[in-house]
Amino acid sequence: MYTQAMDVPNADDAPSVAAPANEAEAAAHFDARCAAGEYVEAKDWMPDNYRKTLIRQISQHAHSEIVGMLPEGNWISRAPSLKRKTILLAKVQDEGGHGLYLYAAAETLGVSRDELLTALHTGRAKYSSIFNYPTPTWADIGVIGWLVDGAAIMNQVPLCRCSYGPYARAMVRICREESFHQRQGFDSLQTMMQGTDAQRAMVQDAVNRWWWPVLMMFGPHDKDSQHSETSTKWGIKRISNDELRQKFVDATVEQAKVLGVGLPDPALTWNAERGHHDFGAIDWTEFWNVVNGHGPCNRERLAAKVKAHDDGAWVREAALAFSAKQAARAAA
């Protein structure tokens, strides 16, 4: 059972590890704990920047899971069979659950769910660039499972060893579920690849459109990654953006061979000296455009998310009214 503090810690909660007398000593002690591989827990003393970095990353991650339900949700009513529809429903529901674990993990750092959602709805908070691309065909759903979940797993498995305990524990369960997601995507594509020429062409077209955006999911090159140095020092990040991207390319090339699809990169070749695949240059102008709100579906995604939140207002109001009634009854 996944357990987590579900809301903002009380102001009078005593820290479980007392902070040493002065800030510099406290920071050095904290760095040493991280370097020794200790887990940091919600009530432990932590530097402000560690707290801020985690709130930023965990909340962006949570927003990604929730916004990530939209491109696939588009196909629930149009899945080609009952089997595929039930699988897709379960997957999209899982992504919603991942968002909830992650919001709960962020809340343990002293930020409220309302603050996090307001940041997303007003465009102040980021979510993964990948969810701003459209899903015009059924093959897109298979490719999201195979490549997007595949990239997510590659990035998220090291987060199971992140220094912040509540985030690391949330990631363990998330990664288990993501591995089913990746396999169902691969299975769906394999079925299509054994079908008609038109189905094979649909898969290839989807792979061609998703390949480069998926490589962008890992973030900018290490030399341009502004947070990597501090996040690595504190054990939030265990493997760098470029290393993870490389691991993903190496693993995926072999899977593409099994599927019988091509990857749309003429520069993709095995480099025996490095023991890795070389691959072509990523279009970082496209990446930053999408990150800064100008991708193909940014406006549509945010509008759908805000509408869903507004449409759900009555549920939140009913829950509050019910809880007030319960409290009044208990008081009486």
Q: Which positions lie near ligand FAQ, rule CB under 6 A?
A: 56-57, 60-61, 64-65, 68, 95, 126, 128-129, 144, 148-149, 152, 155-156, 216-220, 225-228, 231, 241, 291
Find tokens 């809301």 and name the residue.
7
How far apart are the C-alpha atoms of 37 and 134, rounded to whole Å?
Answer: 41
Min dist. Cβ of residue 207 to ligand FAQ (A): 16
Min dist. Cβ of residue 263 to ligand FAQ (A): 19
Residue nearest to ligand FAQ (CB): 68
With residues binned 3-state (H G I as helix, E B as strand, rest as coil), the percentages for the chain, rounded to 5, are 65, 0, 30
| Comparison of 95 and 265: residue with beta carbon closer to ligand FAQ | 95
DSSP for 81-117 reads SHHHHHHHHHHHHHHHHHHHHHHHHHHTTT--HHHHH
- One-letter amino acid at 313 equals A
Min dist. Cβ of residue 241 to ligand FAQ (A): 5
How far apart are the C-alpha atoms of 58 and 68, rounded to whole Å?
Answer: 15
Min dist. Cβ of residue 156 to ligand FAQ (A): 6
Q: Residues 258-261: contacts with CB within 8 Å, 24+ apart?
A: 258/190, 259/146, 259/186, 259/189, 259/190, 259/193, 259/203, 260/193, 260/200, 261/189, 261/193, 261/203, 261/204, 261/207
Min dist. Cβ of residue 187 to ligand FAQ (A): 16
Which residue from 208, 224, 270, 276 is spatially nearest to 245, judged by alpha carbons?
276
- CA distances 297 to 78, 290, 308, Å, are 20, 9, 16
| Comparison of 43 and 126: residue with beta carbon closer to ligand FAQ | 126
Min dist. Cβ of residue 73 to ligand FAQ (A): 10
| Comparison of 62 and 259: residue with beta carbon closer to ligand FAQ | 62
| Comparison of 45 and 240: residue with beta carbon closer to ligand FAQ | 240
- CA distances 137 to 126, 284, 307, Å, are 26, 26, 24
| Comparison of 64 and 252: residue with beta carbon closer to ligand FAQ | 64
Q: Which residues pair with 164 in a beta bridge?
A: 40
Min dist. Cβ of residue 37 to ligand FAQ (A): 19
| Comparison of 39 and 180: residue with beta carbon closer to ligand FAQ | 180
| Comparison of 43 and 173: residue with beta carbon closer to ligand FAQ | 173
- Helices then strands, counting H and E runs in the chain, come out as 14, 2
